[in-house]
Amino acid sequence: MPDVAPLTPRHADRLITALRHGLRLDTAVADLGLDLPAVWASARTDTRLTIALAGRDPDGAEEQSRTARADFLRLLALGVAPGRAELILGVPSTSGWRSDPAFARACDAVTSAAAPYGHPRQVRLDPKRVAAFLEALSTPGTTVLAAAAAVGVTPNAIYQRRKRDGQFAKAMDAARLAAREASTGQ
């Protein structure tokens, strides 16, 4: 199949509006002068359009939650660790989602299917990662979240280590101080 250019964002928005107003897809596409293969090409990457094509309102709160869960599962399928997926999506924790038994089973199934290609089960905060984390943290403007992600661990792992290891806590404080001094030019 030849490559088809996807719709422009403006055309996608107009199509979504037409579908929300009850027009059938073929009628909306014809009325807007669009090409159906372009609609399919756009639906590959435009979640709002895909939801509208499924006959639902893409801007409803329930769809935003469903989309976030689908994105989480997609990242798991790509072999991304759950903690890293949370960082990528910008969600504080997906642990509440796992209270839904169906979603928990879906996460387990997707993780199992991705296992041959996925992340190692446990990433340790070994001396090499600690050094890289502290170096990243000493860079002005770098947060704990960003420095942790840079070395492949969760912020939770960092704060747990800080709590139990006084030397690590002092090193973190020194790295933060170095970042502040570098940003102020002292």
Per-residue pLDDT tens digits for 64-117 = 888 888 888 988 888 887 878 888 888 777 667 777 888 888 888 888 887 766
- pLDDT for 85 equals 84
pLDDT band at 186 (very low <50, low <70, confident <90, very high): low
> Does residue 2 belong to any structural domain of this protein?
no
Pair (65, 48) in one structural domain? no
φ/ψ region of 10 (left if φ > 0, alpha if ψ in -120 to 50, else beta) reads: alpha
Pair (49, 70) in one structural domain? no
Pair (49, 66) in one structural domain? no
Q: What's the average model confidence in pLDDT over 118-145?
A: 83
Pair (75, 46) in one structural domain? no
- Determine what percent of the chain is predicted with pLDDT higher than 90: 37
Task: Give the residue among 139, 130, 140, 118 at the shortest CA–CA distance from 170.
Answer: 130
- pLDDT for 17 equals 93
Pair (178, 140) in one structural domain? yes
- pLDDT for 119 equals 52
Q: What's the average model confidence in pLDDT over 148-156?
A: 83
Mean pLDDT over each residue of the chain, to the nearest integer: 86
Whole-prediction pTM: 0.53
> Does residue 78 belong to any structural domain of this protein?
yes
Task: Give the residue among 121, 109, 117 at the shortest CA–CA distance from 83.
Answer: 121
Task: Give the residue among 173, 175, 170 at the shortest CA–CA distance from 150.
Answer: 175
> Does residue 152 belong to any structural domain of this protein?
yes
- Hey, what are 116's tokens? 């041959």
- pLDDT for 1 equals 47
- Hey, what are 39's tokens? 């609609």
Rounded to whole angstroms, the Cα distance separating 61 from 67 reads: 10
- pLDDT for 15 equals 93
Residue with tokens 């979640």: 47
> Does residue 168 belong to any structural domain of this protein?
yes
Rounded to whole angstroms, the Cα distance separating 112 from 105 reads: 10
Q: How many independent structural domains does the chain possess?
A: 3
Phi, psi of 33 (to 5 degrees): 70, 35
Q: What's the average model confidence in pLDDT over 134-146?
A: 91
Angle at which helix 155-164 crosses helix 166-184, to 10 degrees, equals 120
Rounded to whole angstroms, the Cα distance separating 69 from 97 reads: 8
pLDDT exceeds 60 at position 2: no
Full residue range of the structural domain in which residue 43 is found: 9-53
Pair (49, 65) in one structural domain? no
Task: Give the residue among 156, 141, 161, 158 at the shortest CA–CA distance from 86.
Answer: 156
Pair (131, 180) in one structural domain? yes
> Does residue 1 belong to any structural domain of this protein?
no
Pair (100, 149) in one structural domain? no
pLDDT exceeds 90 at position 47: no
pLDDT exceeds 90 at position 24: yes
